[in-house]
Structure 1
Amino acid sequence: MGKSACSTSPQQLESTRFILRALFLLLFCGHACCQCKILRCNADYVAATLNLRGSNKDVAYCNALRSYSHCTRKTARTCRGDLVYHSAVHGIEDLMIQHNCSKEGPTSPPRPRPPAPNHQSFESLDICNYEKSFLYKHGQPPTYQHCAAFGDPHVRTFHDEFHTCRVEGSWPLLDNNYLFVQATSYPVAKSSNATATGKLTIIFKNMKECIDQKVYQAEIDNLPAAFEDGSVNGGERPGGSSLTIQERAPGQHVEIRAAYIGTTIAVRQAGRQLSFSIRAAKEVAQAFTEEQDLQLCVGGCPPSQRISRSECHHTGIAAETARLLCKEKLPVEDVYFQSCVFDVVTSGDANFTLAARGALEDAKMFHPDAEKLHIFQTGAGCRLISLPFLLVIVTSNLLAIQLRF
């Protein structure tokens, strides 16, 4: 016998189902301001039937239709006269007939409701807490890097390279999307190429969600515990408290915490020089373009600006005395110790022992890997020449001159 004119093929059923679902989605989007709860019923139905697969899809579809029907009955009182509601009711009846679904039977499990808004959630406040937001996104804490500039200046890069630099004038320590740090240096002695940092400028660039742009400037004998505008935080924005400044030791040590970029900075003064140390999230430290390639914290000092620490120019303190002074502050004879000896000999200022010790203390706090705290470089310290050996050299030179003539 031929097929009845009222029979429907599976392809037609799927087509009808697709059209109705699209209609429900359009109604959901077009009537977002509807007062009755039919929109929730529509959304639950679409979610329940969106990805039906396998041999049990017909059973699951009937379950979804019964849930849909139950939902519409619960909201009937508030939806009288609502066109969307009546369209849904008629659509459900037609679909149940087409799919031979009984009105009684199991229903689809309810879709879980989203949690109530939490004012302490990532979406509200944690966007200005880098560590929490990184953990939220990646499931693990961020990686940190450490850089420092102190004394001559000596620069320890983010990659644990260590250079002693000339760099007279202004040079950028950092220049990325979040921070700009510039150090200005001056000669420590007329007869030496060595310099020391006399001014530091730190710019925390505007971050719309968290802070206003803030500038911090320090000079010798002027280590303020506030930003240039007199404030001590990131401004009046919701995340303003994610940038703070605190005085650790009046006139000697200031610490700036920028939680919104996972960064902490220490600025110190020891003697007639300033030092800079930073602990920065790796993602922040590497956020720069090719045009921002000159950064002492990233690439170290340019080769033309590097000085060998083995060449110490005496200015009143012998290398043996400098070693004793530095040994009191720095028991381990690593690059911090070697830098201390170089600075004390070159400058004649014993206060440079405090600069090296402060840099080491910052490294203990800021460096992510305790095993890489100390760096050892052979042949990088001031050459110690004893008096007998010096006499041998002088005598040998005199004999060479006499033989020549």
Structure 2
Amino acid sequence: MRTSTDSSRGVGERKEETGRGPIPISSGWIGMGKSACNTSPQQLENTCFLLRALFLLLFCRHACCQCKILRCNSDYVAATLPLRGSSKDAAYCNALRSYSRCTRKTSRTCRGNLVYHSAVHGIEDLMIQHNCSKEGPTAPPRPVVPSHQGIESLDMCDYEKSFLYKHGQLPVYQHCAAFGDPHVRTFHDEFHTCRVEGAWPLLDNNYLFVQATSYPVAKGSNATATGKLTIIFKNMKQCIDQKVYQAEIDNLPAAFEDGSVNGGERPGGSSLTIRERMSGQHVEIRAAYIGTTIAVRQAGRQLSFSIRAAEEIARAFTDEQDLQLCVGGCPPSQRLSRSEGRRGGMAAEVARMLCKEKLPVEDVYFQSCVFDVVTSGDANFTLAAHGALEDAKMFHPDAEKLHIFQTGAGCHLLSLPFLLVVVITANLLAVQLLC
């Protein structure tokens, strides 16, 4: 039998399960004690509902805050980042075992977290793929950043590492290219063939400015090709001095305009580098401080440009910087149908044979190749389309969107999976109509 003391504790006080002692509860919060006598059943029900909702919100917030799955993801990515492109299965297994151990530690607080469940299933698949045993050594723990240093100052001139520490995942990348006529593949996977004679900006944001200058490929033709590229890496106080790179036909330097090959004397100067991949034909510029890689090529009498940029960097521009071919494509008045401009040059069938040798898939790269070779009569334009496709293989984040299939210069892309869906849907509709 309860004593009166025990009974009164149930009305005015609640004892925490942790044993820290009674916590007083005001009778104004809930309709209990004497105030409950004057409370209608409807008011009491509403109050209880609000309290239950408040409890659930607080509980969910606590559970979400306690779930450390993003930290586990971040540690795994950091451990495997140096292993990319290698076949070090033992090191991968160590990292996976550490990843698995980390998820087990946070399993209680992550039960309702979809990211957590995806990670658990992903670990199982990867361990099977790399033939890993569940028992064995683990990857060394990631060093703790000193509190006085802070995340902001850690690797501030390495965009990918900084993003990983802040968000627990790698950044999303985008790809743009301009080659041949020029043909422009935008960050949004739209594809245009442009006349754009003269100087036009490919990019103009807070970090980069890229301008292409074009000239007619043949007398009396609407088709043009890029003869000059100007790339400006804007001053970034913590990392690099402003650097300018200029390339022209038959002059593809492996250095910036001031003769340097990096970002200058600042502590992060090495985060911007330039190197020659093929003498006089292919130069690569890596800007690690903004998560960007640029390829400049020469094929025949034209230059091509390809870029892989972090999405956050590609979107860092104002409304005034609205004319960017990599963002919005060619203005409608400057778009050229690939059925136009075919004067002189070379027979279409010969051009198709030449392009087929370099580009077996008849996508927009193949179509652009045929257009350029027919228009210019220069078989070297097959190299331009082939080089652009090779850059796309390296730079595009989604292999399924590598190839674009379309019938005209102004159409949106049609990827292969999308074409299959269209064909299947059309067949189903036809069957329904016949029935």
TM-score tier, shorter chain, comes to 0.5 to 0.7
The residue type equivalent to 1:332 in the other structure is: V
TM value normalised by structure 1: 0.65
For the 8 Å contact 2:335–2:409, the answer to whether it is kept is no
Unmatched tracts of structure 2, length 5 or more: 1-19, 24-142, 411-435
Q: CA deviation at 1:267?
A: 0.1
Aligned partner of residue 320 in structure 2, secondary structure: helix
* 2:303 paired residue among 274, 286, 298: 274
Q: Distance in 1 between matches of 2:384 and 2:291?
A: 25
**Residues 348-387 of structure 1: pairs in structure 2 closer than 5 A:** 348-378=377-407
Aligned partner of residue 156 in structure 2, secondary structure: helix
1:196 aligns with 2:225: yes
Q: Which residue does the alignment assign to 2:183?
A: 154
Q: CA deviation at 1:222?
A: 0.3
For the 8 Å contact 2:292–2:309, the answer to whether it is kept is yes
Q: CA deviation at 1:56?
A: 7.8
Q: CA deviation at 1:310?
A: 1.8
Q: Distance in 2 between matches of 1:171 and 1:194?
A: 15
Q: Distance in 2 between matches of 1:125 and 1:325?
A: 51
**CA shift digits 1:121-164 (9 cap, x unpaired):** 85555110001101111111100000000000000000000000
**CA shift digits 1:78-135 (9 cap, x unpaired):** xxxxxxxxxxxxxxxxxxxxxxxxxxxxxxxxxxxx9684999855551100011011
Q: CA deviation at 1:235?
A: 0.4
Q: Distance in 2 between matches of 1:173 and 1:325?
A: 29
1:300 aligns with 2:326: no
Q: Distance in 2 between matches of 1:185 and 1:116?
A: 49
Q: Distance in 1 between matches of 2:150 and 2:279?
A: 37
**CA shift digits 1:266-301 (9 cap, x unpaired):** 000000000000000000000000000000000000
**CA shift digits 1:325-354 (9 cap, x unpaired):** 000000000000000000000011000000
Shift of the 380–127 alpha-carbon distance from structure 1 to 2, 3 Å rule, reads closer
Q: CA deviation at 1:314?
A: 2.9
Count how many residue pairs are aligned between Structure 1 and Structure 2: 273
Q: Which residue does the alignment assign to 2:170?
A: 141
Q: Distance in 2 between matches of 1:313 and 1:363?
A: 26
Q: Which residue does the alignment assign to 1:323?
A: 352
**Residues 84-99 of structure 1: pairs in structure 2 closer than 5 A:** none
Q: CA deviation at 1:312?
A: 4.3
TM value normalised by structure 2: 0.60
Q: Which residue does the alignment assign to 1:251?
A: 280
Q: Distance in 2 between matches of 1:379 and 1:290?
A: 29
Aligned partner of residue 190 in structure 1, secondary structure: coil
Larger radius of gyration: 1
Work out the percentage of aligned pairs sharing the same amino acid: 88
Aligned partner of residue 267 in structure 1, secondary structure: strand
Q: Which residue does the alignment assign to 1:346?
A: 375
Q: Distance in 2 between matches of 1:119 and 1:364?
A: 42
Shift of the 324–266 alpha-carbon distance from structure 1 to 2, 3 Å rule, reads same
Shift of the 115–283 alpha-carbon distance from structure 1 to 2, 3 Å rule, reads closer
Q: Which residue does the alignment assign to 2:196?
A: 167
* 1:129 paired residue among 158, 164, 167: 158
Q: Distance in 2 between matches of 1:380 and 1:258?
A: 32
For the 8 Å contact 1:209–1:239, the answer to whether it is kept is yes
Q: Which residue does the alignment assign to 1:186?
A: 215
Aligned partner of residue 140 in structure 1, secondary structure: coil
Unmatched tracts of structure 1, length 5 or more: 1-53, 58-113, 382-405
For the 8 Å contact 1:191–1:313, the answer to whether it is kept is no
Q: CA deviation at 1:190?
A: 1.1
Q: CA deviation at 1:311?
A: 2.3
* 1:335 paired residue among 358, 364, 378: 364
Aligned partner of residue 354 in structure 1, secondary structure: helix
For the 8 Å contact 1:125–1:239, the answer to whether it is kept is no
Shift of the 116–276 alpha-carbon distance from structure 1 to 2, 3 Å rule, reads closer
Q: Distance in 2 between matches of 1:319 and 1:137?
A: 53
Aligned partner of residue 326 in structure 1, secondary structure: helix
Aligned partner of residue 278 in structure 1, secondary structure: strand
